[in-house]
Chain A
Amino acid sequence: MTVAAPNQFRPRLAVLAGVLVGVLAAGCTSGGGSDADGQAPEPPASSAAPARPLQVELVTMAKVPPGGPSASRAAKQAEPGLEQFLDRYLTAAFVDAAGREGGWDGLLGLFDKPVRASARRQLDALSLGADAAKVSAVRPGRASARAVVLYGEKRPAAATVRLAFDGTADTAQGSGQVHLRSVLQLLATGEGWRIAAFASRTGPPR
Chain B
Amino acid sequence: MFISFKKIFVTVAWSSFIISMLAYPVYAADWPHRTTGNAWWCTNCHVTHNTTSGQFTKVKGNSNLCQSCHQSAGDAADKPMLDVHLAEPGTQGVSHRWDSGPGGYVTAALTNTSTGTVLSGVVGGQAGVFSGTVPRTYTITINSGGDVGTATFNWTWQDEGGTSQSGGTGISTGTDIPLIGEIKVTFVNGTTPSFNAGNTWTIKVRPQINFPSNIELAKRMFIGDGAPLDITDIDTRPDYLIPASTYGKASCSTCHNQHNQSNNPFDPFSPTTYTAGDTQDRHFQRINNEQNQLCLDCHSARNKGNDFSNADPDDDVRTWSGNKKSHPVGVDFPSTKPENAPLFHTVPKEPSSSLFNPSTDVSGKAVLGKATVATNTTCVTGDLRPAVNSNDLVGLVIYFISGAYQGTGMTVTSNTSTQICWATGNLDIAVDDKYIVDKDGNPSNNFRFANAGTVSFTGGTVYCMTCHGPHWADSNELTYDAP
A binds B: no
